[in-house]
Each structure stands twice: as structure tokens, then as C-alpha cells.
Amino acid sequence: MSAIAADPDAPATDRLPVLSPMLQRLAAERATGALMRDRGTLYLADGQVVHAESPATPGIDVLLTTGGTLRHEGWWDAVAQAGAGRRVGRYLVDSGHVPGGALELCHLGALYDAAFFALAPTGTPARFRYGVAHWIGPVRPVPVAAVERETLRRREFLDRIWPDPACDSAPLLRTAHGPDAPVPARQRRLLELVDGVRTASDIAQALGRSAFHILVDLRRLAAAGLVAAVRAQPLPAAATPRRIPLPEVTADPDIALLRRLRDALEAL
């Protein structure tokens, strides 16, 4: 199993912005493995996206069990019986725990949700590990172009609701303004968890809901003036930790060679 590294992905000027040049190269070469980015991982098989995970959003296990589609015991039974063989999804259907159509819908929802966060702009280099497969196993592959198109659509949709992305990642607090109109029950439940500490991802995990759908509701609440992001306070100059310069030791020729190899790989 090998790994390659690339420069940070940057949008390209084309008919549609390129969210990840590296992902498009992997799709073109029909690669199989895991593309690891700063905010999530995309799993590919023959150049198509077969699964995605992100710490910003609940996984497929949470979405299945919280929604009542699957009992917790059924999930852990599937993991125990089929996790090592990377066929958890197939086992859930064959054992009667989850109907095939319900698994596909939930899996696609989890895939697009996690991909939205995984493909967010980042300054961290992406890395790909060839041959890596996810334990959920094959469910329904999605072309890379479809994943990127849906990610762009979601970004534009959020910006149309409320163009300030601050509430997407910062802790949230309720404002002193009362609603001019009744708040839907779904948004009221969300508002109950806005406490100045929780972020959108925390709320999604607590409710077992799609993190993107949580962002939609939060942007609507922000546009209505009901929630706001907690702005980080800059540290006083006296409190800013001083950076202590450390000598760089490169006398060992093996270390110097390894660093040159690393730099060459990251330039690919």
C-alpha cells in the first residue's frame, strides 16, 4: 500500500470550479483507495466515490439508528459479522435489518453530506492511499463529477440563504431578538441546543441529523437574526506565546535524503 501527496487543492477556472484536481486525476485513472483531506475522507473504487466520512457530520450508523431505520443491536451485529470482510452494507440488507432501498438512500445522504465538508477549501495537502477500502462495502458508487456538482450546489444554496459562513463552524449563541413569526418545530429543537458552546457539527451529532441540513436551518435562523456566531477574541500581545527558534539538524545524510524524497512526493 502506497501513498502520494499533493499540493493543496485550489479551484481552477473552468465552466465549473474544480474542487479537487487530485480527485479528478484519481477518477481519470480509475483509482481505488482513500483520499484523505483536512475535513474528511473520500473512498474510491475504480475512480468512483463509494463512501465518504467527515468528523463534521454524523456517520451512516448514526443516521440509520437515530432515524429508527435500524436498531442499535442490528448495527453492531452487522459490524461484528461483516466488518472484517468489508461487507457491512450487504449484510444489513441480506439479514433483513434494513431494506435495500432505505440503505441506499441513507448511504447516499451520508456520502454527499460528508463529501460537502471533505471538499471544503483547505491549505493542508491531500493524500491518497491506494488499495484502502471502507468496511461498509459496496452500496452505490457515485461519479466524482456528481459529487463535485452537488457540493457546489450546496455551497451556492447556503450563500443564497445567508452569505456569512461564520455560523457553520464557530460556537453559536441565541440573540436577544425574539422571532417575528413562529419558528418551525424542527428549528425550535435546534435552537434549544444553541448555548454559546456547541457548533453546528455538535448539534448535528446530538440530533442525529445531516450536518448540511443543520447548516441550512442555522443560516435561516441567522438571516432571521435569531442566532449568531461567537466571534473569537484576539489574544493580548502580552499573552501571545513567543515562538522559540530551534536549530535544524540536517547533518545526517539519511535524514537529508528522506526530506528530499518527501519534498519530491509532495510536489507530485
Count structural domains, the chain: 2
Give yes or no: residues 99 and 13 share one domain. Answer: yes
Out of 160, 182, 216, a domain closes at 160
Q: Are 131 and 191 in contact (CB under 8 A)?
A: no
Out of 100, 133, 160, a domain closes at 160
**Residue 21 banded pLDDT, cuts 50, 70, 90:** very high
pLDDT value for 179: 63
Higher-confidence residue of 250 and 150: namely: 150
pLDDT value for 8: 40
What would the pLDDT profile of 175-191 be if each residue is shown by its tens digit? 977 666 688 899 999 99
Mean pLDDT of 85-98: 92
Q: Does the model's pTM come out above 0.85?
A: no
- Cα–Cα dist 127/8, whole Å: 10
C-alpha cell at 36: 484523505
Order the strands of the 3-5 sheet from edge to edge: 3-5, 127-130, 33-37, 40-45, 48-53
Quote the crossing angle between the two packed helices 144-161 and 211-223, to the nearest 10°: 20
Give yes or no: residues 13 and 140 share one domain. Answer: yes
What would the pLDDT profile of 113-129 be if each residue is shown by its tens digit? 999 999 999 888 999 99
- Residue 174 domain flag: yes
Domain range for 167 is 163-229
Give yes or no: residues 202 and 133 share one domain. Answer: no
Give yes or no: residues 86 and 187 share one domain. Answer: no
With vertex at residue 55, the alpha carbon angle to CA 51 and CA 59, rounded to the nearest 5 degrees, is 50
Give yes or no: residues 151 and 173 share one domain. Answer: no
Q: Is the pLDDT reported for residue 55 higher than 70?
A: yes
How would you class 230 by CB atoms within 10 Å of its CB: exposed for 0-12, middle for 13-18, buried for 19 or more? middle
C-alpha cell at 252: 545526517
Give yes or no: residues 10 and 141 share one domain. Answer: yes
- Residue 92 domain flag: yes
- CA nearest neighbour of 130 among 258, 33, 250, 227: 33
- Residue 235 domain flag: no
- Cα–Cα dist 153/147, whole Å: 10
Mean pLDDT of 228-233: 82
- Cα–Cα dist 69/178, whole Å: 36
